[in-house]
């Protein structure tokens, strides 16, 4: 697993070689005890839940960084090192 960004207590990560369980491009997002898996670049929820205010922040971040997220997904599915993505400010 690689943490690709952190902002407002939210941790965004991407797992290496993680295209077996969820074959679609996605990220894992944690905030306190909550975790959600979101499709990229759409931001649709695959599983889990996240407080609405935090989810809105993550969805805005995805929209801003969708190209970078897709590039990281390509790297991660090949087991290659992913890049950090700027946090939401």
Condensed to tens digits (0 to 9), the pLDDT of residues 19-46 reads: 666 678 999 999 999 999 999 999 999 9
Residue 42 in any domain: the answer is yes
Residue 89 in any domain: the answer is no
> What does the pLDDT average to over 43-72?
97
Q: How confident is the model at residue 22, as a pLDDT?
A: 64
Count of structural domains within the chain? 1
Question: Which residue range(s) make up the domain with 35?
Answer: 2-77
Q: What is the CB-side half-sphere exposure of residue 39 using CA atoms within 13 A?
A: 7
Residue 86 in any domain: the answer is no
Q: How far apart are CA 27 and CA 5, in angstroms?
A: 11
Residue 85 in any domain: the answer is no
Residue 36 in any domain: the answer is yes
Residue 6 in any domain: the answer is yes
């Amino acid at each position: 697993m690689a943490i690709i960004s952190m902002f407002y207590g939210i941790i965004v990560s991407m797992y290496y070689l993680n295209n077996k369980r969820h074959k679609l491009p996605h990220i894992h997002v944690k905030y306190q005890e909550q975790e959600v898996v979101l499709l990229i670049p759409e931001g649709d929820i695959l599983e889990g839940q996240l407080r609405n205010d935090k989810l809105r922040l993550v969805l805005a971040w995805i929209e801003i960084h969708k190209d970078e997220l897709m590039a990281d997904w390509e790297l991660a599915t090949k087991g290659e090192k992913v890049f950090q993505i700027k946090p939401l400010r």
